[in-house]
Amino acid sequence: SAVISQKPSRDICQRGTSLTIQCQVDSQVTMMFWYRQQPGQSLTLIATANQGSEATYESGFVIDKFPISRPNLTFSTLTVSNMSPEDSSIYLCSVAGTAGVYTGELFFGEGSRLTVL
Amino acid sequence: EDQVTQSPEALRLQEGESSSLNCSYTVSGLRGLFWYRQDPGKGPEFLFTLYSAGEEKEKERLKATLTKKESFLHITAPKPEDSATYLCAVRDSNYQLIWGAGTKLIIKP
């Protein structure tokens, strides 16, 4: 299993500002995933963070709004830029289990609850 | 379009009252169905993987089953500590992971 630490755990931000969420894993992993979880809704994959290359974004998410860094195999950041109240959500970092990325076994951080006023 | 639907949205049970949660799916080329548990303020925690119809997995008071159209998470004689949101996800033929919205389970002592 992997232990994933996310910071901040929660924050309240003003409209138009940006917030960077950090994700630290206790072991080296090839791919890290960033998800969004809005109340009462499914988890939505924002992007896959690849070490040494640009992140791969899912439909509906763009790099200008959600820039991602992946400087090494244990760390990644997600920035939510120019925030609006619609960005209020829980943001989750996750990595695949030891059986590989194509299984459904993912480990998640505890999430970062973002409220935009 | 690939889709995962969980029902009910919420379920309240008395301690010891057994029941089932449902996950129905429409997906092209199922590559696995997964159950997770999520406690408030925490990230999801992996429970089970099921790959083919007829397969069953058990863990303590939980048993997951799979048919060609749906999966059930049976909970036997639940305890208050089983209270959580249970999430279902499926992986399609493109290895994309599609999540349901979850069932919030509340077990009253």
pLDDT digits (tens, 9 = 90+) for A88-105: 999 999 998 665 656 668
Confidence at residue A101, expressed as pLDDT on a 0 to 100 scale = 59
Nearest-angstrom CA–CA distance, B65 and B80: 23
Q: Answer whether A31 touches B (CB < 8 Å).
A: no
User: How near does any CA of chain A get to the CA of B6, in Å?
Assistant: 10
Nearest CA in chain A to B88: A42
Contact B91 A110 (CB under 8 A): no
B49-91 pLDDT, tens digit each: 999 999 999 999 999 999 999 999 999 999 999 999 999 999 9
A37-82 pLDDT, tens digit each: 998 888 999 999 988 888 999 999 999 999 999 999 999 999 999 9
The mean of the pLDDT values for chain B is 95
Contact criterion met (CB below 8 Å) for A84 and A14: no
Contact criterion met (CB below 8 Å) for B70 and B62: no
Contact B101 A41 (CB under 8 A): yes
Confidence at residue A103, expressed as pLDDT on a 0 to 100 scale = 66
Q: Which of B43, B97, B100 sits opposite A104 (nearest CB)?
A: B97
Helix, strand or coil, per DSSP, at residue A85:
helix
Q: What is the residue-wise DSSP string for B24-68?
A: EEE-SS---EEEEEE-TTS--EEEEEE-STT-EEEETTEEEEE-S
Q: What are phi and psi of A42, to 5 degrees?
A: -70, 160
What's the whole-number mean pLDDT along residues B34-43?
Answer: 94
Residue B48 has pLDDT above 70, yes or no: yes
Contact B32 A106 (CB under 8 A): no
Q: Give the other-Cβ count within 10 Å of B42's Cβ.
A: 15
Nearest-angstrom CA–CA distance, A45 and B98: 9
Confidence at residue A98, expressed as pLDDT on a 0 to 100 scale = 63
Confidence at residue B23, expressed as pLDDT on a 0 to 100 scale = 98
Q: Identify the contact set of chain B against chain A, taking CB-CB distances under 8 A.
A: 4, 9, 31-34, 41-46, 49, 87, 89-91, 95, 97-102
Confidence at residue A65, expressed as pLDDT on a 0 to 100 scale = 97
